Structure 1
Amino acid sequence: MRVALVPMRVEVGNFEANWREFERRFSEALTHKPDFVLFPEYCLTGFAEWDFSGAALYGDIVERVSGLAREAGVYVVFGLLEPYKNCVYNSALLIGRNGEVLLKHRKFQEPMKFCTGNTVRTARTEFGKVTIIICGDLYNKRIAKWVRRKKPDFLFVPMEYSPDYGELRGEDVETMAERVKLLGARTFIVNSYPPGGAWVFDSDGRLLASSREDKILVVEV
């Protein structure tokens, strides 16, 4: 199983620019012949506080990404805003090799004005059982309980985190490792750029590989 983690530059509110960047980085990832390509949280619209307009693009985004996955024959994991009735979820999808939506996760760890998820689901692939959580979910106690109960083989974490001090520090990565150890699954994390970065941990929380800024990280497990 080969995974390409893509720390992607995202322009808030500029879907067409983001789509061009997504296609460019997707093509770059394909040169490594991956089985899975992982992109960050709401990577095609970005998000500025309480501007949910990007949710209107949900159907178009799913159709476009599904087309890329089907054409390339790869799995794609990415985040997007999902409209639902009178509110919006911060969601992430696993798109299968045939372009179908195999798995949807709705983020737990969100403030008011978002709808929030209340469960963790899994999908079966030829490599094992897969789960997705999003960014702050990594530090949520309820999420930890759900993930341990589901016992996934692999956990994918799209992220959009830019601390005030810039690039993530060693202690930030150590905190991720501690949380991954509690979850007990091999974990792939990718962040938006800037500051970017990608990290892969084993089920005991040991850091196996990482990249900085916008460099694609390719790993085999």
Structure 2
Amino acid sequence: MKVCLIPPKIEIRNPAENLQRFQARLAEVAPYQPDLVCLPECAFTGYLYEHEDFEKFAEPIPGETTDVVSKLAKECECYICFGMTEKAQEDVYGSAVLIDKAGQLIHVHRKISEHPPFATGNEVEPINTEFGNISVLLCGDLFDDGVKASVSRDTNILILPLARSFDGKSPDLERWLKEERQAYADEVRKVGVTGLIVNSLEDSALPEASFGGAMIVSPDGEVLAESEHGTDKALIFEMGSVMAKGG
């Protein structure tokens, strides 16, 4: 199984432009024939949490954005996972969707470890695919021991879309290497499942800008592959036998 993690450089509050950029990035990686393409949390809008932003940018699932990405998945014959702000009938959620290579929306994960004004999800459900069982956690879910404990033992691949930044300069390669990189790998090890981590990249001039980068972590917490911190470089990796759970 070949996976492609794309930490896109996005323009906050400009989903049309960001979708166009993603379409171009997908065309770039298509020759590698990825089976699964993963994007970050809030992949096309940036992480927004004000009510006025919810009014403008939150969307139903399925909706306009999922329809566009479904067509791309079908054209490229690959699974695509991405995060978005979901406008449900009762509330707004930070969510991630998984679309299969036929363009069918097969899974929605609502972020559990989240703060108001978002509503929160309440379960982590493994989805059976031709590549094994796939589960999704969103950003803060990875650092919540209760949420991690709810990941099914039958899960083979854990997709982890993030929109994380530092409380200060971001990106910050020195801080990433000294403090953060191993912490992420350790959280994946606690689950004991191969983790696909992909983070959004925003303008570093903005306060609390997401710092980009992507990495793949084995069930025992070994970083198997990674793209550069602070970049939007795609990470393409052949999974092989690393999908097996740790002992």
Asked whether the two chains share a fold, i.e. TM above 0.5, the reply is: yes
Structure 1 gaps, min length 5: none
1:186, CA displacement in angstroms?
0.3
- The answer to whether the Cα contact below 8 Å between 2:41 and 2:200 also exists between their aligned partners in 1 is yes
Look up the equivalent residue of 1:190 and give its one-letter code: V
Partner of residue 161, structure 1: 164
Paired residue for 2:198? Answer: 190
Residue 69 of structure 2 aligns to a residue whose secondary structure is: helix
Equivalent AA in structure 2 for residue 198 of structure 1: A
Q: Which secondary structure does the structure 2 equivalent of 1:114 belong to?
A: coil
RMSD across aligned C-alpha pairs, in angstroms? Answer: 1.3
Q: CA deviation at 1:10?
A: 1.6
Q: How does 1:23-102 map to 2 (within 5 A)?
A: 23-50=23-50, 51-52=53-54, 53-56=56-59, 59-102=63-106
Give the % identical residues: 35
Q: Does structure 1 residue 130 correspond to structure 2 residue 139?
A: no
CA distance, structure 2, for counterparts of residue 166 and residue 12 of structure 1:
16
Contact kept, 8 Å, 1:29 with 1:37, in 2: the verdict is no
1:30 is displaced (CA, Å) by 1.3
Q: CA shift at 1:165, angstroms?
A: 2.7
**Quick one: which amino acid aligns to residue 119 of structure 1?**
E
Distance in 2 separating the partners of 1:87 and 1:196: 29
- Choose between structure 1 and 2: higher strand proportion: 1
1:98-135: per-residue Cα shift (whole Å, max 9, x none)?
11111111001111110101100111111111001111
Counterparts of 2:191 and 2:14, CA distance in 1: 35
Q: TM-score if structure 2 supplies the norm length?
A: 0.85
- Contact 1:92 1:132 (8 Å CA) reproduced: yes
Per-residue CA deviations over 1:177-217 (Å, capped at 9, x if unaligned) read 11111101000001111421001000011100000111100
- Check conservation: 1:38, 1:77, Cα contact below 8 A: yes
Equivalent position of 2:244 in the other structure: none
Query: 2: distance between equivalents of 1:137 and 1:57?
Result: 22
User: Would the alpha carbon gap of residues 57 and 17 (structure 1) be closer, same or farther in structure 2, given more than 3 Å must change?
Assistant: farther
**What is the SS of the residue equivalent to 1:129?**
strand
Instruction: Verify: 1:117 aligned to 2:121, yes or no.
Output: yes
- Cα displacement (A) at 1:56: 3.3
Q: Deviations over 1:47-80 (max 9, x none)?
A: 3331212113750001000011011110001001
Regions of 4+ moved over 2 Å: none
